Every structure is written in structure tokens, then in C-alpha cells.
Amino acid sequence: MLLPDKLPRVGTTIFTVMSQLATETGALNLSQGFPGFDCDPALTALVDEHMRAGRNQYAPMTGVPVLRERLAQKTAEQYGVSYDPDTEVTIVSGATEAIFAAVTAVVQPGDEVIVFEPAYDSYVPTIDLNGGIPVYITLTPPDYAVDWSVVEEAITDRTRLIMVNTPHNPTGRCWTRDDLDQLARLVQDRNIWLVSDEVYEHILFDGRTHQSLMTHPVLRDRTFVVGSFGKTFHITGWKIGYCLASAPLTAAFRKIHQYVTFSTVTPMQYAIADYLAEPARYQQLPAFYQRKRDLFLAGIANSRFRSTPAEGSFFQCVAYDAITDEPDYDLAIRLTKEIGVASIPTSVFYHQQNDYHILRFCFAKTDDVIQEAAERLSKL
């Protein structure tokens, strides 16, 4: 029997490859994006409390009501935008599921989807599985700025969706108000939807504020805003995310979600709902991660690596031109084996593996790991 390959362009994700190699070799793992420290014990205590209280059966398909309500309340306080918890807020099993459900809700075979690359690795396979056609806008170092005239030229009558990600993985770049205005100008008279991956919404540096697409009046009703509690509360392993979208978009989104996972882990949803009561718990994130970014940057300041400080996210990209002309993939593997520091080669985020000699390091790690990694890198 012939086994069809529905995703012939992809193999095992780079995150699995590099994390596995880091484990096998005992390397410091600055590759896959996850915190190298635990979440607040108050949060796990809440899970324990809700499990013991018997909240262990299926949650409602849309998410437990108290979490949807508190998330809507937090969103209103933070961005001044209101979402109806019953018809516009859905809790799902991670941002990855939200992206899958949103793309699947609107993309028909043959539809074009604009993807800015470097792009987070789940976008294109999700588009492919729906028969969509990715149309790439290639962003380049050092600033990865969007040239909006290029986006305008890429839009056709078949463009159905644009994928947005701010703060951006892997570049750490954040969109400005002007980017939102330019996007609004291009989509406002067209039948184009938006998926806005905002999982790093609380991780911006140097006084920047997050420009959520929901805050733009033209964009709010045509955007699936995707978030993840994993990044905000150091619980990437819980895989709990959400989608905020206008009622018609949410209805379409839920049609898909109900047959992908149906619902999401119950006691954790209750725990997060309780935990959201204290805004300080996420308001301290920019300072927390900025200190870690700066620790990493200070650690490699006297090395031959070159970098532009990340504006947001928990990733720092560094250029290694002055050290070697090896391909970034080979170098990432070699550094893991030889000096015990794992990173992600940024070429994997481009559909044609553009190699700008840049590695991505995740600085969501303990200070001693960041310092030790920087020390090893500085010897190169």
C-alpha cells in the first residue's frame, strides 16, 4: 500500500531535533523556546486545589466560563477592547491549535495566504493541509522591516488571509502603529482575513508597548487574535491558548476546534482563571525578560558575534559572519556538540532556507545557564 505524504515539504521540526541533540550531548539548551525554570508554585497549588475539588471532566467546548470572562476582562483593561466571553472568546489547546483552527476556518483550496518569513514553523504546514497557497514576503536582517509596497504587490484577488506575528519569533521584532495602519489600508476594502499570533504580547522591551491588531478599528473584526498562557505564565507544557475574534469569525473557528480537540484540560483552566486575578503576575514580565536579554547580550559583548537587541519575545538573534562562513544549520549542530550550546539556525524559518549566518538563542533560562552559554560562545 502507498502511504500518502500530506506534508512532503517537512520532516521533524527543528525544535525536536535540537532539543533532542541538546539532551543527548548534555548541552545547554538555548534552542527550543521554553523557560528553563519552573512556574509559580501558587499556580500549581491552584491546579491541585481544582483537581481535588473534582473539576476533572470535560470542559465546555468553548472553554470554562470563568476563564473566558477573566480573559475578556483582562483584554478590556489592557487594550481597551471588548470581547464577549460567550461569543468571541475560545480557549484551546495551545496557540498551535488556535492557528490551525483559524487558518482552517477561512482557507479554501487554491486560496492565497501571505506569510512573512522568517515564519514560525507551524504556519505553512497548516496552510498546506488546507490546500492554501503560501505567498512569501521575505524579511531580511538586520532590521527585518516590512516594505508595505511589496505586500501591496503580493495581494491578488485570491488573497484570503495574512499571517501576522508580533512580537516576532525568531527575530524579536515588534510591529509599530504605523505597521498596523499600513496593513489596515491594504485590507480594508478587500475580502481578506488576518491571523495575528500574539503569544509574546507581554514580552516587549525598552518601554515598547504591544500593538495588538485588535486595537485597530479596521482590523479588529477581521482578525483572529491568538494568545498562549504558556509564554505568559511559564507553562508551555500545559498547552493552553486562546482565540479572540468577532462573533462570526469565532463561530467559524469553533466549528473546527470542536473536531480537533473538542475541549481543553479542565483543572488548568480554572487555575489560570484564578491566577489572572493579579495583573502584577504578567505585568512584571517585560522587566523580568529584559534583564535576561541584557545578561545574554552583556555576556557576548566582547565576542565576535554581532546582534541588534531583541525588541520583544524571549529570543535573541546573533550574526556569526566574523567567526565562520559555515551554513547556520551545520554551525548550530557543531556548537551543540563541541561547546555544549544549542541554538536554532534561522534558515529553517525560510521556505528556501535563506542562510544569513544568524542563530537564534532563547534567553528564557536561568541566569547561570545564560552566563555559562555566553562565556562559551565568547571563546569562539
223, interface contact from ligand PMP, ligand GLN, none, CB < 5-8 Å by kind? none
Cα–Cα distance, 355 to 309 (Å, whole number): 20
Nearer to ligand GLN, 23 or 108 (CB): 23
Nearer to ligand GLN, 14 or 89 (CB): 14
Restricted to residues 138-177, the positions that interact with ligand GLN (CB under 6 A) are 169
Cα–Cα distance, 330 to 39 (Å, whole number): 33
CB of 320 to ligand PMP, least distance (A): 22
**Closest Cα to residue 195, out of 263, 265, 266, 124?**
124
**Closest Cα to residue 365, out of 337, 342, 335, 348?**
342
Q: Which stretch binds ligand PMP (CB under 6 A): 44-52, 175-183, 236-244, 341-349?
A: 236-244
Nearer to ligand PMP, 62 or 165 (CB): 165
CB of 32 to ligand GLN, least distance (A): 4
Residue nearest to ligand GLN (CB): 33
**DSSP element (H, E) containing 304:** none
The reply on whether position 179 binds ligand PMP by CB under 6 A is: no
- On the 0-12 / 13-18 / 19+ scale of CB atoms within 10 A, 323 is middle
- On the 0-12 / 13-18 / 19+ scale of CB atoms within 10 A, 270 is buried
Restricted to residues 10-49, the positions that interact with ligand PMP (CB under 6 A) are 33
299, interface contact from ligand PMP, ligand GLN, none, CB < 5-8 Å by kind? none
- The answer to whether 370 touches 299, Cβ cutoff 8 Å, is yes
At residue 232, φ and ψ (nearest 5 deg) are -80, -35
* Count of CB atoms situated within 10 Å of the CB of 246: 17
The residue from 29, 32, 126, 266 that contacts ligand GLN (CB under 6 A) is 32
32, interface contact from ligand PMP, ligand GLN, none, CB < 5-8 Å by kind? ligand GLN
Nearer to ligand GLN, 19 or 263 (CB): 19
The residue from 29, 31, 90, 96 that contacts ligand PMP (CB under 6 A) is 96
The residue from 22, 33, 203, 224 that contacts ligand GLN (CB under 6 A) is 33
**Alpha-carbon distances of 245 from 123, 125, 155, 160, 239, rounded to whole Å:** 19, 23, 23, 17, 20
Residues near ligand PMP, by CB under 6 A:
33, 94-96, 120, 165, 169, 197, 199, 228, 230, 236, 239, 241
Residues near ligand GLN, by CB under 6 A:
13, 15, 32-33, 169
